[in-house]
């Protein structure tokens, strides 16, 4: 089927929609979902009440759902690319460090969304509220399989690969939590911490 080209009006509408989402996300991150009013969004973005409802008829709730949906879809796609890039010819320490640094970057690259997710996920009415847990669980299965294949190739010993995958993922999550809270259990530069933890873990797996 022939694709209909987008008109300048279509592109203007898409830009306006993104402007609303960016502005609302900034306010949700700063004030919380319940602490942000539609009037605040209007003023922050610089549009009228009627125009905002034109783009999001269900108002603030629809905006929150959309913020969650679009942010999550992009993060899942990047995460899958990271897993696919763990080539078997890369040394295990290198592959795992790259993956965990990438995970950390994904989680902290959009700090406004991460703050919203930790604080306001319960306000999301769809199953998107469980995004982080589901994303980690799904990638846990993939990472478990990566470790199993490395053991089959003789790079590491047989062990509880699921537990080992949990151990690795917790490193990335702890680093991400440091960026959105006042809790710092890392103590050093994040990439150094990740590489040190990976090196230590892999050394244990080879014994």
Q: Where are the domains of the chain?
A: 8-205
pLDDT band at 151 (very low <50, low <70, confident <90, very high): very high
Q: In terms of Cα–Cα distance, which of 14, 67, 69, 74 is closest to 36?
A: 67
DSSP 130: G
Within its chain, how far is the Cα of 39 from the centroid? 29
DSSP 188: S
pLDDT band at 10 (very low <50, low <70, confident <90, very high): low
Q: What pLDDT digit, counting tens, does each position of 38-50 carry?
A: 999 999 999 888 8
**Could you tell me the fold of the domain covering 8-205?**
Tetracycline Repressor; domain 2 (1.10.357)
Cα(137)–Cα(169) distance, integer angstroms: 10
């Amino acid at each position: 089927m022939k694709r209909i080209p987008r008109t300048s009006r279509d592109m203007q509408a898409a830009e306006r929609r993104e402007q609303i989402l960016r502005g609302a996300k900034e306010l949700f991150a700063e004030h919380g979902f319940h602490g942000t009013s539609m009037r605040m969004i209007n003023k922050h973005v610089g549009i009228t009440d009627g125009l905002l409802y034109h783009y999001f008829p269900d108002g603030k709730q629809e905006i929150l759902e959309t913020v969650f949906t679009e942010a999550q879809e992009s993060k899942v796609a990047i995460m899958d690319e990271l897993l696919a890039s763990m080539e078997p010819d890369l040394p295990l320490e290198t592959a795992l460090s790259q993956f965990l640094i990438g995970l950390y970057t994904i989680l902290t690259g959009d700090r406004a969304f991460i703050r919203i997710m930790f604080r306001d996920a319960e306000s999301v009415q769809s199953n998107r509220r469980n995004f982080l847990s589901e994303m980690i669980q799904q990638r846990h299965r993939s990472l478990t399989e990566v470790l199993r294949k490395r053991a089959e190739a003789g790079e590491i010993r047989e062990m509880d690969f699921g537990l080992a995958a949990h151990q690795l993922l917790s490193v990335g999550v702890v680093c991400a939590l440091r960026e959105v809270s006042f809790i710092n259990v890392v103590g050093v530069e994040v990439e150094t911490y990740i590489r040190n933890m990976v090196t230590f873990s892999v050394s244990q797996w080879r014994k």
